Structure 1
């Protein structure tokens, strides 16, 4: 029994609507939770206002970029508008703008719920950890349901309306380009404030993390929302769309050769089941009598994984899909969980690496940095092996099915790995919500018992965030390998039209391929450096402003009643700096891709993408895990170990965390989006690279 692809597209739209319904119910559940503390409401409103102000300015800047990009797409893609079908160019431009708009909405939804859930989570902590956990988790789940529902709905509608996989790549490029800049801008904002608040507050003055005397403390909490919520939502929206787009490009191509629509049907079926499994997983998530919030979050992921595996197996049997492709999808999902477990080991404050770095911190900041970097580098190995193994096994497993199926197997492994992305986003968005709640609890003077509860929730958020980032980076790795396959498909289609021979692979002994390989490998390093230098420059400006306020505002340092810092000055510095710094790094990556393509042609681009993927994955995994490790080392010491708060080890750990902040929240998670963007640019520009390059 094989149903038509239209059946699965309609089913996907229905499941997307169910996800929106779940998101709406969760939103109103969180909103209905009691909150009566006037001080917490006051601070919460400041955070909400700051986050929305930044988002409005960021989106205004990105609107200009998207407008220019859409105009260029209209003129040049998929062919010069004066040479091809005008309607195709118009469709491509509209698809690009739709992808950008969907991605922007994902960020806005995240901000809307996070700035409510942080207040509810803080106040719920006065009634115990379970109630507080549920408020934080369900707040994050609103975003999980809305983002994945939007991505599945968007992909379904684009293909249903246009029937054009190239338009689907345009939609994905819109999502990716906006996500790249949103993640970079939000990351620069949040880490500017976080670093400045920690260095002046904790290291220089020895005051608590969220002390209301610190002028940067509100900007720090705003940053959690614009970076870790809005930016992350756009990022994972992009990853999910890109994985489906890559799989569908190959699926439709295979279906044309074989007749029917079984492969495209399978992509929609598995994606819809993944979202359905996430809805069930979110609905059943609870903190049990035994175990803390970390266990509850991880168990919800494992439950969702199990539901997905069973339901997709049932669908494969019912609709007569190919079992080899189901196995490739299952392998991707299993490897995603393994990558998450490996990340957990290197970042969880109950595990040996955190304890070893905490011990090293007693000897000073240099040893904290050295040990953290070392463990971060080691942590990349299991994930890199996992990605490589899943790609190899998926390739070999599906190879006997015929030409093209081997790469399709890798694409389906990526779909499998991202199938439970609704749960992944829910867990990830939980982190900044409970981090904000911890700050609100301190500023609202809710007492040490409440702070202990919010600290436990925050520590779980940091651990799970490292797991979810590992998951997202691993999925991005498989997705871009699949996008490399999509690039080859696009090149071969264009070559057939131009009467040229197609390509089957890339020989690194070919000097044009090697040229591209070397340039591509360097781009993630330069991209990361540009983002972190942006944080560095911005943080220096904010530190100077904090020093000015402590010096000029009489009674601020002593905490005299009625003396309030000028919070808005720090928010303005973070906003202006982030807007200024967010565009150059992304443009550098896109321009480098175009230059390599027009110099070396499609062969050079093949090398460029290969180098970019390998180098980018290594950097992303290393920086995300090292940053999470340093963050939890600081929290481990603050909980009373290795000297506790105020000790030399604590000051060293704060320095380590300061280095780790732009690693894990600015550069690291932005790299996988950068890889996706250059892969999509390459596919969309393949015809032009084939026709106009200096070296063929």
Structure 2
């Protein structure tokens, strides 16, 4: 049955066969949510620990809920403004315009819901993972590890199933309801998901790393107490931050990666295969839902496993392999044997001599292989058992400076290899398309959906990290776990550091594939807009389509695109630095003013540190968000769409390298610290330990704030460019052409960005009432 051979006339409706396929995929999406519900029940059925454990977990839950509630109220203002702005942008009809705005809110709501659910369950699973380690004796470690991993990984599995379920459900509903208008409406859906994810990533990242850095610098370095010692006032905030940053933020990030990749595939699929192209990209992630369940269930340590990563790798590889087999079956079932058999497709596509079945299969294969290679490459550079991390740990013998240098060099080197793998995947798609640019871009989008067939397991891997980290913190703060049980949780925490680094690597690969595919949608939208305006693209004109960088405006656009990535990263790291400084002063004040904290006769004021992190995280949200949205507007209206295309290319290139560099450096520093804490090079309390703590604090904002936030940044800028492209053309050609209006819009965007950055740089570290009497200590931003 060649369902996709029956493309609809003119793309007005879906055929009966295509509609049935989309409905089946929608049911699979609903089933994924059902599986998530069952996994929630399994996780919550586990023992919740002792009263002391539950009290600590309750404090973390309260802080996380309070932060996300305040964050969502803040973001509601941005979402409302974006809704009305989208209504003003050009569209073919009012149905498209209204649908695009409404599904912007749906995408934002789904992204927020995925992030909130990730946090809600993680703060309940962490105490249950800690409880598994109670009373463990020598020889029982493997059994305890199996139980703890089962809870932690299935907690991540819940978030993974919600990610694929909500993402696929939103896309199928748009396709079923809007049909031919689906691509334009999906732009709004993807933009909502990406914008909310970026805000949650930045805000959560600032919160978690400010608390983490502050806790480490005062607790470990100055007071010489353990990381999660209850005498440290920043410990509760640190555990809260793990959940609002790593769980809520990363869950929203991976959801928007899933949604935006689907949007790019569906937009390009519609252009290449007609309405048939609205079905094929849904089938592949639909298969991924089924194999995600298999991969999540398969993660269980065995006696012969070298460690926890072996079990996780087994689930990941099993999911990838079964996905590929099922995609092959689907391709040969629903696709015809020749492109000429597809109706109502561009003549250049119909004349292609290849086999659509093999084309789709190999495109998906490229994505799956890329996921596997990125997983292995990132693991090599961040696992404690591999040479790179051991080399960073060994450098601690000569002090913190060499630790920082070795981590930076490791991150820079690993970024090159990751970029080469992603570039090879993109070029492989080009070769697969036989020289057809539009078909190559569709192949890139299909590769992205192939990579995301493993997203359920990828999200589970990511959530596994903070749950394990929090479990160790709760165990240490409660004093209920020691000996063999503590060793089990320490090993899980190290595995979690690696899984978080791996998911960040895969997330940036997905971001680049999605951004590349959206780049093709952008150029297609420009062509349509120019034609409808009655003009032709003229090289050197304000709306010229040439991406030749010998043109000054395009070269400037390319440089600005790369520069924005650096500025965005700098703003994020600077925000963490300021907030962490405030935490350091507050924790120092409590130790100074309440000496009973050290002997246990007084309890720290945990809530004050949580309040500092919450205030600073929400205050710092606006500047990166305005930069991501307004910078493309300034470039596009000021320099033209050719320069805007070059801007996106510069951002993709710089963003790929920067994100991998930041993530892998931070991951290596973190695990080098774990290596020393496990007894290497003198162990805890040694000078080597202090050196690795410094490296870890440098890496914290790298790997958990700036690096991961680049993923949604790239897609936000691509989607903003895609949405504003018709308006740029509208004011460049025909009756509505107005150089003055374009210049005014660009000037306003530039002024807003400059004002936001200036205001951010004027913020100071909060030391009011915390410095010694008579002191006039203030610290300027970044100082």
TM-score range, shorter chain: over 0.9
Instruction: Give the deviation of 1:504 after TM superposition.
Output: 7.0
Partner of 1:279: 293
Matched, 1:95 2:95: no
Q: What is the aligned counterpart of 2:726 among 678, 684, 687?
A: 687
Q: Which residue of 2 aligns with 1:49?
A: 62
Question: 2:117 is matched with which residue?
Answer: 109
Partner of 1:299: 314
| 1:65 matched residue in structure 2 | 78
**Equivalence for 2:532:** 497
Tell me which of 503, 514, 517 is aligned to 1:482: 517
Q: Distance in 2 between matches of 1:91 and 1:575?
A: 34
Cα offset, 1:335, TM superposition: 1.3
Residue 768 of structure 2 aligns with which residue?
A: none
Secondary structure of 1:96 counterpart: helix
Asked whether the equivalents of residues 554 and 647 of structure 2 are also in contact (C-alpha less than 8 Å), the reply is yes
- The answer for the alignment partner of 2:655 in structure 1 is 616
Alignment partner of 1:373 is 2:389:
no
The alignment status of 1:206 with 2:224, answered yes or no, reads yes
Find the aligned partners of 2:513 and 2:718 in 1 and give their Cα distance: 12
Equivalent in the alignment of 1:559:
600
Shift of 1:283: 2.2
Does 1:430 find its partner at 2:464?
yes
Conserved in 2, the CA contact under 8 Å of 1:339 and 1:382?
no
Q: Is the 8 A contact 2:308 2:495 kept in 1?
A: yes
In structure 2, the partner of 1:152 is 168
Q: Could you tell me how far apart the structure 2 residues matched to 1:429 and 1:461 are? A: 8
Quote the residue 2:773 is aligned against: none
Residue 268 of structure 1 is matched in structure 2 by: 282
* Structure-2 residue corresponding to 1:2: 2
- C-alpha deviations, 1:324-354, integer Å up to 9, x for none? 1210111111012101111111111111111
**Conserved 8 A contact 2:49-2:128:** no
Q: Which residues of 2 match residues 354-503 of structure 1 at below 5 A?
A: 354-399=389-434, 404-445=438-479, 446-501=481-536
What SS class does the counterpart of residue 78 from structure 2 fall into? helix
Q: What's 1:671 paired with?
A: 710
Aligned-pair distance for 1:387?
0.7
Contact 1:78 1:88 in 2 (8 A): no
Match of 2:748 in 1: none
Q: 1:129 aligns with which of 132, 145, 150?
A: 145
558, 561, 565: which one pairs with 1:520? 561
Does the aligned pair in 1 maintain the 2:160–2:456 contact within 8 Å? yes
Q: Deviations over 1:433-454 (max 9, x none)?
A: 0100000111121213221110
Which of residues 319, 322, 325 in structure 1 aligns to 2:360? Answer: 325
Taking the aligned partners of 1:70 and 1:665, their CA distance within structure 2 comes to: 29
Aligned to 1:649: 688
Change (3 A) 1:497 1:200: same
Q: Cα distance 1:505–1:252, how it changes in 2: closer, same or farther (>3 A)?
A: farther
Segment of structure 1 superposing worse, 136-145 or 503-512: 503-512
For residues 606 and 269 of structure 2, what CA distance do their matches in structure 1 show?
53
What is the CA-CA distance between 1:150 and the residue it aligns to?
Answer: 0.6
Match of residue 623 from structure 2: 584
Does residue 235 of structure 2 align to residue 196 of structure 1? no
Tell me if the contact between 1:325 and 1:398 (Cα under 8 Å) persists in the aligned partners.
no
CA distance in 1, matches of 2:104, 2:18: 23
Structure number, greater radius of gyration: 2
Counterparts of 2:619 and 2:459, CA distance in 1: 28
Deviation at 1:7, TM superposition (A): 2.3
* Residue pairs, 1:177-188, within 5 angstroms: 177-188=195-206
State which of 607, 618, 622 in structure 1 corresponds to 2:646.
Answer: 607
Aligned residues: 684
Q: CA deviation at 1:13?
A: 0.9
2:552, 2:464 → 1: CA distance?
Answer: 48
Shift of 1:465: 1.2
What is residue 538 of structure 1 aligned with on the other side?
Answer: 579
Q: Residues of 2 paired with 1:408 and 1:474: CA distance?
A: 16
Residue in structure 2 matched with residue 237 of structure 1 by the alignment: 255
Structure-2 residue corresponding to 1:632: 671
Q: Which residue of 2 aligns with 1:26?
A: 39
Shift of residue 501, structure 1, vs aligned partner: 2.5
Gap regions ≥5 residues in structure 1: none
CA distance in 2, matches of 1:129, 1:285: 12
- Cα distance in 1 for residues equivalent to 2:213 and 2:557: 36
Residue 613 of structure 2, aligned match among 553, 556, 574: 574
Q: Which moved more, 1:466-475 or 1:218-227?
A: 466-475
Following TM superposition, by how much is the alpha carbon of 1:589 offset from its aligned partner in structure 2, in angstroms? Answer: 2.2
CA RMSD after TM alignment: 1.4
8 Å contact from structure 2 (residues 49, 127) kept in 1: no
Choose 262-271 or 371-380, whichever is displaced more: 262-271
Please list the CA deviations of residues 163-218 of structure 1 after superposition, one character each: whole Å capped at 9, or x if unmatched. Answer: 22111011100000010101000000000000000000001111011000000000
Q: Is the 8 A contact 2:271 2:277 kept in 1?
A: no
CA contact (8 A) 1:609 1:679 kept: yes
Kindly indicate whether residue 132 of structure 2 is the aligned counterpart of residue 119 of structure 1: no
User: Which consecutive unaligned segments of at least 5 residues does structure 2 have?
Assistant: 4-16, 137-143, 336-355, 538-543, 733-738, 744-783
8 Å CA contact retained: 1:531, 1:582: no
Assess if the C-alpha contact under 8 Å between 1:145 and 1:422 holds in 2. yes
- Distance in 2 of aligned mates of 1:380 and 1:6: 43
Which residue does 1:314 correspond to in 2?
329
Contact 2:200 / 2:252 at 8 angstroms: preserved in 1? yes
1:555 to partner: Cα distance: 0.8
**Structure 2: how far apart are the matches of 1:332 and 1:573?**
42
Q: Distance in 2 between matches of 1:467 and 1:403?
A: 31
1:642 is paired with a residue of what secondary structure? helix
| Offset at residue 505 of structure 1 (A) | 5.7
